[in-house]
Amino acid sequence: MKLKTIAIGVSLSVVAMGVSAGNDAVNSGEYIAFFDHTLPIEERLDDISARLTDKEKGHMITLWNEGVPRYGLKSFMPGEALHGLAAPRKNAATVFPQSIGLAATWQPEALKRMGDAVSDEARAQYHNGPVIKDGKRGPLTFWSPVINIARDPRWGRTQEAYGEDPLLNGVMASAYVKGLQGDHPKYLKTAAGAKHFVANNEEHNRFNGNANISEKQLREYYFPAYKQVVEEANAQIVMTAYNKLNNEPAVTNTWLVRDVLRGEWGFDGFVLGDYGSVLMTTKGWGERSFHGHDIYDNYVDATAAVLNAETLDFDNTRLFRQEAMTAIAQNKTTSAQLDRAFRNTMRVGLRLGMFDPEELSPWKDIPFETMTTFKPLALELAEKSMVLLQNEPVNSQPVLPIDKSTVKSVAVIGPNANVLNFGTYSGTAKDPITPLQGIRDYLGDDIDVIYVPWTQNQGELNPIPLESITLLDNQGLGVWTADYYTNRNGSGKPVANNTVGNIDFDFGNKPPHKDLGNEHFAVKYTTTIVPPQSGLYTLGVESQGYEMVFDIDGSTILRDHGNNSEPLRTTAELELDSQKTYTFTVLAMEKRGSSERSVKFGWELPSEDSIYEGAELEAAKKADVVIAVMGLSTEYERESIDRTSEGLPSEQIDLLRSIIKVNPKTAVVLQSGSSIESPWLKSNVPAILQSWYPGEQGGAAIANTLFGDNNPGGKLPLTFVKSWSDLPAFNDYDISKGRTYLYFDKEPLWAFGHGLSYTQFALSDMKIKSSKVAKDGHIDVTVTVENTGKKAGDEVVQVYITDMFERSEKPKQRLKAFERVSLEAGESKQVNLSIDVSDLAYWDEKTKGWMLGDKYEIRVGNASDNILLTDTINVE
């Protein structure tokens, strides 16, 4: 055979690649084409596909399994890298600003550099880090970035997105993916995953929601960022969503995945479902508090469905290594469908070089010490993400920047002053800088910094998020075990048991399980967790009709004797360490005489506590200037938690009302992952800086911006509305009803693209190369930008287009090009921007294709509500 003529040296390199000793198929000296890195990838896949059994293929395309020992194949390790390397958390890594803040930079080049830094850390860990499990040191495949478009500020994961505009979303995400995956001619540096495909914008019903969206709006608004990331940035992984799209779960939506993603866009990487999403299509999940789609009778049928639909290639539970075998044996699916999924997944592994000799990796020598070394870049991105929302004068002078030479004392207050909110899916930072520390470091010992810790009001008990639970069920899903007893103290052997997603049940007048009577019973819930951050947690139970006991690692933390007339809450505070694993046990004991039974367990994340209640006013009176660090945190917005109230929490507004009265020279720094809807704030606070969740260097970036070393140049990537009452219903995905700057018909609080500076800019001399363009041509726009102020700064030139013809669902304008420009005081530059005419097209419902109009207005400004220059072009 031809393959036998390959040189012996290749065969030796196969054995030397790191295959475990004792694997007969390898150590026999047999030539294995799969391990021959000189062959085309498809030939290598042909070889390994013919060698492996169905069961072995299933093991290779599910998480945390043994792989295929007889060939030394280790399975894929999952990872997150939303805004820095976040897996595993025990290895410190650079934490960059959260995605929404990165979008506010409007500088894709900087995101590409960030992606390169994150992938440097990933390779350093993969090649030279400590072993985590089963010989693995860290992942090369990442379920990042999130590019669900931020259509509504109530969505709890807005912070993970790149804003409300399709172009900005696609350009920024693509830049990050390019940085993550690298530009090596043969090997991927890492494999990036775009999620959650598609229309995954509600957390309160994310397991069973249904997004009804026309094909027109999918094509024009919801799809473009995914399409760009796949076609332009060559993303290797796509994760489908939990929700249905037009009554079909995304995880089984053949049109979505097979026809559009693979067929139209040419995607040839692997597709996986969101964590446990296949399980959520089966019946009976309401009993586990997950409330899925209730379509398939069992896991075998659900597994067969996703394989037959050709939607999933990789499973994040165990279905492909267990239920898939049963489905094949029962002729509900075929080995060929499993092989298709296997090949799609392994193709990405080969592109990563996972099965080649390690010495061939271009990144094998990046030392583990590289981790955490990108602090300068983290600071740069944090500074670029700062958006100056407002800067009104007090006594004829703007509050910001604060002139260090004119102040003797600064008061620092607010719930976020001495904490650093990273946002969701964050890694473990080394020596992060809080706003308070950043201000103290900047001012030194010469200026008095008066800090008043925040007094925390009792908030909501939030459920333990899935990502913090380490007790996994037999499908690999984070759960609590529930043991049911026919005695009130939970002793002896349980009569039944199952698992639940979280503890939040209202049983009415029924017992919690069919095997229990209405009296003499108890339920014991148990899980293991790793806290998302270290600090003082408030842990609590809220129940009616039960006596409750809560233990950690066998020690009782709290107990209450219950109440039969209404729910009773009992809480306790406890320091938890993010580097430790804890066993939580919640025992609910039936209380006689209650006609209603409910039980809820949760926590409040760490926050400042203080005995200095009311001291903020005294500090404000004494200080020359007040810095109030306000906003939200993951208590209010995150995965599984949508926002439930608009604007700032009421206690923050109440404090600011008092502070402004005693010291109007007040600057508010907002930390949040979404918009802050507060007309009062805009009308009463002179200076407002939006800092998002700014990453590990956030405190330094905030200080540098407040005191003028950094001139803020960020722009809003989403509209700040005055009130949620100005928006359509949360579950209405039709953006043409008045959602985003494209269709919003009310006055915004601050518009998409808004952002002020400490200097002034002028846009002038707009030129379009030709007023008539061909359908396959491009539009060249030039404009002069001048810094007319006295301080160096950045401006973002934004080019919008408006359709000058009638068509259905016509937006007011669409962003089509942008560029961030740095200018010294008095300097001017000519900015050249190009737009492909094809990018002006709209989706026609009748022809089911893209159509171009004949006339467009080109609009240039520095915000969507501040258009300064216009001209028209004709398409011929």
What are the catalytic residues? 274
Long-range contacts of the stretch 132-136 (C-beta < 8 A, 24+): 132/77, 132/88, 133/64, 134/66, 134/74, 135/74, 136/74, 136/77
CB distance 308 to 252 below 8 Å: no
Cα–Cα distance for residue pair 527/309, rounded to 1 Å: 35
374 three-state secondary structure? coil
CA 176 from chain centre, in angstroms, equals 13
Characterize 225-245 residue by residue with b for buried, 16 or more Cβ atoms within 10 angstroms of its Cβ, and e for exposed. Answer: bbbbbbeebbbbbbbbbbbbb
DSSP letters spanning 34-100: GG-TTS-HHHHHHHHHHHS-HHHHHHHTBSSS--BGGGTBPPP-----SSS--SSTTSB---PPPHH
DSSP letters spanning 288-334: GT------BSSHHHHHHHHHHTT--SBBSSSGGGTHHHHHHHTTSS-
3-state helix/strand/coil string of 471-513: CECCCCCECEEEEEECCCCCCCCCCEEEEECCCEEEEECCCCC
- Is the peptide bond preceding residue 196 cis, with omega within 30 degrees of 0? yes
Tokens 């409040």 locate to 604
Residues near 408 by beta carbon (within 8 Å), at least 6 away in sequence: 447, 448, 624
CA 854 from chain centre, in angstroms, equals 39
| β-pair partners for 394 | 397
Cα–Cα distance for residue pair 738/724, rounded to 1 Å: 12
Q: Which two tokens stand for residue 407?
A: 């102040």
Cα–Cα distance for residue pair 422/194, rounded to 1 Å: 21
CB distance 840 to 801 below 8 Å: yes
User: How many Å is the maximal CA-CA distance in the chain?
Assistant: 89
Q: Which two tokens stand for residue 3?
A: 């393959």
Q: How far is CA 125 from CA 85, 90, 244, 538, in A?
A: 10, 12, 37, 34
Cα–Cα distance for residue pair 717/601, rounded to 1 Å: 36
Cα–Cα distance for residue pair 306/43, rounded to 1 Å: 26
Closest by CA to 314, choosing from 232, 239, 389, 204, is: 239
- Is the peptide bond preceding residue 452 cis, with omega within 30 degrees of 0? no
DSSP letters spanning 430-478: SS---HHHHHHHHHTTSSEEEE-PPPPPP---BPPPGGGB--B-TTS-B
Cα–Cα distance for residue pair 19/231, rounded to 1 Å: 35
Element (H, E) at 350: helix 335-352
> How many C-alpha atoms does 544 have within 13 Å on its Cβ side?
15
Burial class of residue 289, CB neighbours in 10 A (0-12, 13-18, 19+): middle
Angle in degrees, CA 664, 704, 677, rounded to 5 = 50
Cα–Cα distance for residue pair 751/753, rounded to 1 Å: 6
627 three-state secondary structure? strand
Phi-psi region of 332 (alpha: psi -120 to 50; beta: other; left: phi over 0): alpha
- Is the peptide bond preceding residue 401 cis, with omega within 30 degrees of 0? yes
CA 350 from chain centre, in angstroms, equals 27
